[in-house]
Amino acid sequence: MKIAILSRNKKLYSTRRLVEASEQRGHEAMVVDVLRSYMNIASSKPEVHFKVENLPAIDAVIPRIGASVTFYGTAVLRQFEMMGAFPLCESVAISRSRDKLRSLQLLSRKGVGLPNTGFAHNPDDIGDLIKMVGGAPLVIKLLEGTQGIGVVLAETRKAAESVIEAFMGLKANILVQEYIKEAGGADIRCLVIGDKVVAAMKRQAQAGEFRSNLHRGGSAALIKITPAERATAIKAAKIMGLNVAGVDILRSERGPLVMEVNSSPGLEGIEAATGKDIAGMIIEFIEKNAKPHNTRTKGKG
């Protein structure tokens, strides 16, 4: 098969591993920078050009689209879908998961456990918003933030009011969430492929930090998850429509709570923590499912 990996940097660990796994299994892998790609949107013969050349027929596409280029990246992916290539994760599903508010609303509608979460626009509503999520301490998140950036822990009501007012003053969209104290600064990253959790790791925040992201100095270790956590991760990925997802779960007194569903989970941390060949599993999934025009959405927006 000819496999296109949509990535801005071919030297990134996840990109390199996907290329290696593809070639080890006899496939031809091509790294395509989405921002150097451009499209001929014609019903008779849609095309994707990359660095002047018209790309050959692609059998499957692995999107590794950064959050900052979601709009253009999903447009390029959608073009490949129009041309019949099998997307590992569909453009609609990626757009859905990148919208934090929309994704939480979808998960909530299907009964998935979530931290109490509030969303408001007017500063006059801050007092009731804080009360709604159980008061301080609480977590304030920028809707556009990734990898722990734009996430603030407000330990007192006064601090929460000040931070929320500041964000609102900057016209930033924010979520306000309850702080799950019993999680102890740790979360669980479940790597879902298809309808299985193939690997899981516990991410622990470093001392004095509440964000467990590995990019922010957190540590990762192998963990055994419960049946409830496994079922929650699979359900969350399915609701988002993602064939591959990193589902971040908090352990709480009322059961597993989904914090986020990531459509481009990094492979380095979880492969190191678990010793599993996640990249190989992804290529194996593509081999089993890659058929022309095999998308769930069938072009629907």
CATH of the domain at 248: 3.30.470.20
Q: What is the pTM of this model?
A: 0.87
Same domain for 216 and 273? yes
* Structural domain includes residue 103: no
- Using 50, 70 and 90 to split pLDDT, how confident is the model at 33? very high
* Structural domain includes residue 229: yes
Residue 4 in contact with residue 59, Cβ under 8 Å?
Answer: no
Q: Quick one: pLDDT at residue 47?
A: 86
State the average pLDDT over residues 118-140: 89
> Would the pLDDT of 115 be above 90?
yes
State the average pLDDT over residues 68-96: 93
Q: Quick one: pLDDT at residue 298?
A: 46
* Structural domain includes residue 109: no
- Examine the fold and report which residue of 146, 179, 212 is the final residue of a domain before the chain moves on: 179
Residue scoring higher pLDDT (113 or 67): 113
> Would the pLDDT of 258 be above 80?
yes
Q: What CATH number corresponds to the domain at position 11?
A: 3.40.50.20
| Ramachandran angles phi, psi of 42, nearest 5° | -130, 135
Same domain for 42 and 129? no
- Examine the fold and report which residue of 163, 179, 195 is the final residue of a domain before the chain moves on: 179
- Using 50, 70 and 90 to split pLDDT, how confident is the model at 147? low
Q: Which two tokens stand for residue 216?
A: 């922010």
> Would the pLDDT of 273 be above 70?
yes
Same domain for 174 and 228? no
State the average pLDDT over residues 256-284: 95
Same domain for 265 and 218? yes
**Could you list the residue range(s) of the whole structural domain that residue 9 is in?**
2-96
Question: Cα(100)–Cα(191) distance, rounded to whole angstroms?
Answer: 19
Same domain for 280 and 190? yes
Q: Which two tokens stand for residue 162?
A: 């000040």
Weakest-pLDDT range from 11-15, 201-205, 216-220:
216-220
Q: How many domains does the chain have?
A: 3
Residue 227 CB coordination number (10 Å): 7
* Structural domain includes residue 199: yes
Q: Quick one: pLDDT at residue 105?
A: 94
Weakest-pLDDT range from 31-45, 68-82, 196-210:
196-210
239-278 burial, b at 16+ Cβ within 10 Å, e below that, comes to bbbbbbbbbbbbbeeeebbbbbbbbbbbbebbbebbebbb
Same domain for 186 and 279? yes
* Structural domain includes residue 32: yes
* Structural domain includes residue 241: yes
* Structural domain includes residue 154: yes
Tell me which amino acid residue 203 is.
R
> Would the pLDDT of 5 be above 50?
yes
* Structural domain includes residue 175: yes
Residue 257 in contact with residue 114, Cβ under 8 Å?
Answer: yes
Question: Cα(178)–Cα(254) distance, rounded to whole angstroms?
Answer: 13
- Using 50, 70 and 90 to split pLDDT, how confident is the model at 207? low
Weakest-pLDDT range from 29-33, 210-214, 254-258, 261-265:
210-214
Tell me which amino acid residue 198 is.
V
